[in-house]
Amino acid sequence: MKPKFLLSRCISSNSRSKSPMAQTQTRTRTLTIAPDPPPPQDLDDTLCSNPDLYQQEEEEQSCPSFPCTPSFPLSGEERVERAWAHWAKLGRPKLIVAPMVDNSELPFRMLCRKYGAEGAYTPMLHSRIFTENEKYRNEEFTTCKEDRPLFVQFCTNDPNTLLEAAQRVEPYCDYVDINLGCPQRIAKRGYYGAFLMENLPLVKSLVQKLALNLHVPVSCKIRIFPNLEDTINYARMLEDAGCALIAVHGRTRDEKDGKKFRADWNAIKAVKNAVRIPVLANGNVRHMDDVQNCLDETGVDGVLSAESLLENPALFAGFRTAEWVADCEESNKNGILDQADLLVEYLKLCERYPVPWRMIRSHVHKMLKDFFRIHPHVREDLNAQSKLTLEFLYNMVDRLRALDVSVPLYLKDAHVAGGSVTGLVA
Ligand SMILES: Cc1cc2nc3c(=O)[nH]c(=O)nc-3n(C[C@H](O)[C@H](O)[C@H](O)COP(=O)(O)O)c2cc1C
């Protein structure tokens, strides 16, 4: 029997010391993360189950679909062609799970993929901590062979650290993404994310460093500037620096509240028209009508959704929450799925792909938000648990069911129900 290695060990020990082709031949991978003992001080940071139980046979990792040579020196034209060839090879994914700290982790990505997502981002990873701290790597980045196409996102302000972090993950992903959009105070303090919009030469050096040295393409997730011309120049600079895909969140750095500020799809359309590489749109994608409208109005190559997926991971399969059925009630039929069903599916995925409890807790609150509104005592009971167990959570869903609560998801069109969706929940 072949020896089993943990993904994290493969990344730590193999990927940086050998040539890409040699790595391809020797790299091994399992689907779970290292069974480091959890830190006793914060129970929510411990893993939800024993990864050893779910280790699977190692597999050979195939070479990433991007040609296994860095993208310089190449002409602009060649880089654009290469960016499109890569995108085509990935199947031109249109429906993509946006990066979300503590929320777009492996089991959640896999749930969204089951329900129609064609690609997904990891949560933002801090590149310096990623290079220095094995425990952080093991807990914050896990993947499996079905978890593709995958964007691994880093935040940073240092090209060398970024490259070191990126080289650890490049065999396991389809893009290494730079977070240029985080508007939070923590990003201001750490000087990364949207705060790098003040220092475009630094941004350029980050992109160039990856484009010159990685074997997978580099993508960037940006916010828009208040001035359209600045946004367009920014996007063109990224393309010229070697970026192979841009995801545009159509809000400025100051427009932090996604519910308060509508994303500016016109600005996204302008970026799409200004660059020659694939562009993805982000913001105000809450159900499949938004997806279609966004694609039609902006001409982009795909969309990202974040907050709406947290509540409804089946969004890309055509399901929608009650909030989005009011204006078209006649065509809506009671769904065949509700959020508690999705939560149970998510918990099963967590058994298979263990993650820290804080991530699970977060998803439980988001997926059961409407159930908890009806029965707040169940939420109080959940909040009172300093240590969660999967058994407790499965029982909690059973209790809600016994209380006769149902918060169905809806399908707008009968043809969706008759298609792949019915197969999904069979
Ligand atoms: C819980 C949460 C965590 C997020 N974490 C990240 C992140 O790690 N990296 C990032 O680029 N954006 C992050 N975002 C922003 C989303 O990717 C997305 O740009 C934003 O929510 C707008 O999309 P939406 O309108 O579909 O929610 C996060 C958003 C949420 C709600």
CA 181 – ligand 1 centroid, Å: 9
CA 366 – ligand 1 centroid, Å: 14
CB 183 within 8 A of CB 256: yes
Reply yes or no on whether the pLDDT at 343 is more than 50: yes
| Domain assignment of residue 20, yes or no | no
Protein residue with its CA nearest to atom 3 in ligand 1 = 100
Reply yes or no on whether the pLDDT at 305 is more than 90: yes
Tens digit of each residue's pLDDT (9 = 90 or more) over 250-297: 999 999 988 889 999 999 999 999 999 999 999 999 999 999 999 999
Q: The pTM is what?
A: 0.87
- Phi and psi at residue 173, to the nearest 5°: -145, 175
Protein residue with its CA nearest to atom 18 in ligand 1 = 306
Beta bridge partners of 305: 97
CA 306 – ligand 1 centroid, Å: 5
| Domain assignment of residue 302, yes or no | yes
Reply yes or no on whether the pLDDT at 13 is more than 60: no
Phi/psi region, residue 185 (left: phi>0; alpha: psi -120 to 50; beta: rest), is alpha
Instruction: Pick the more confident residue, 80 or 47.
Output: 80
Tens digit of each residue's pLDDT (9 = 90 or more) over 253-263: 999 988 889 99
- List, by residue number, the catalytic residues: 182
Q: Do 344 and 221 sit in the same domain of this protein?
A: no
Q: Do 195 and 258 sit in the same domain of this protein?
A: yes
Q: For residue 327, name the pLDDT band (cuts at 50, 70, 90).
A: low
Q: Do 276 and 360 sit in the same domain of this protein?
A: no
Q: Indicate the residue type of 399.
A: R
| pLDDT average, residue stretch 361-373 | 96
Q: How far apart are CA 416 and CA 314, in angstroms?
A: 12
CATH number of domain containing 75: 3.20.20.70
| Domain assignment of residue 125, yes or no | yes
Protein residue with its CA nearest to atom 16 in ligand 1 = 306
Give me the percent of the chain exceeding a pLDDT of 70.
79
Q: Do 176 and 190 sit in the same domain of this protein?
A: yes
In the chain, the number of structural domains is: 2
Q: Which residues line ligand 1 (CB under 6 A)?
A: 98-101, 103, 123-124, 153, 179, 181-182, 221, 249, 258, 282-285, 305-308
CA 104 – ligand 1 centroid, Å: 9
| pLDDT average, residue stretch 169-182 | 98
Q: Do 250 and 277 sit in the same domain of this protein?
A: yes
Supply the range of the domain harboring residue 385. 320-425
Q: Do 311 and 373 sit in the same domain of this protein?
A: no
| pLDDT average, residue stretch 44-62 | 59
Helices first, then strands: H and E counts in the chain? 20, 12
Q: How many CA atoms lie within 13 A of 109 on its CB side?
A: 31
| pLDDT average, residue stretch 6-25 | 36
Lowest-confidence segment of 15-24, 53-62, 98-107, 193-202 by average pLDDT: 15-24
Reply yes or no on whether the pLDDT at 361 is more than 50: yes
Q: For residue 51, name the pLDDT band (cuts at 50, 70, 90).
A: low
Q: Do 251 and 343 sit in the same domain of this protein?
A: no
Burial 214-234 (b: 16+ CB within 10 A, else e): bbbbbbbbbbbbeeeeebbeb
Q: Which of 317, 352, 378 is the last residue of a domain?
A: 317
Protein residue with its CA nearest to atom 31 in ligand 1 = 307
Q: Do 325 and 182 sit in the same domain of this protein?
A: no
Tens digit of each residue's pLDDT (9 = 90 or more) over 393-420: 999 999 999 998 778 899 876 444 333 4
Q: Do 245 and 373 sit in the same domain of this protein?
A: no
* Index of the ligand 1 atom closest to the CA of residue 283: 25
Listed in sequence order, the residues at least 6 apart from 290 whose beta carbon sits closer than 8 Å to its beta carbon are 284, 303
| pLDDT average, residue stretch 184-188 | 95
Protein residue with its CA nearest to atom 6 in ligand 1 = 100
Residue-averaged pLDDT of the chain? 85
Q: Do 140 and 225 sit in the same domain of this protein?
A: yes
Q: How far apart are CA 69 and CA 150, in angstroms?
A: 19
Q: Do 363 and 307 sit in the same domain of this protein?
A: no
Q: Which of 284, 317, 350 is the last residue of a domain?
A: 317
| pLDDT average, residue stretch 62-67 | 44
Q: Which of 263, 297, 317 is the last residue of a domain?
A: 317
Per-residue pLDDT, 41: 53
CA 56 – ligand 1 centroid, Å: 31
* Index of the ligand 1 atom closest to the CA of residue 103: 1
Q: Give the count of beta carbons closer than 10 Å to the beta carbon of residue 334.
A: 10
Q: Which of 95, 96, 101 to mutate to test the pocket of ligand 1 (most atoms within 8 A of CB)?
A: 101
| pLDDT average, residue stretch 53-73 | 48
Give me the percent of the chain exceeding a pLDDT of 90.
73
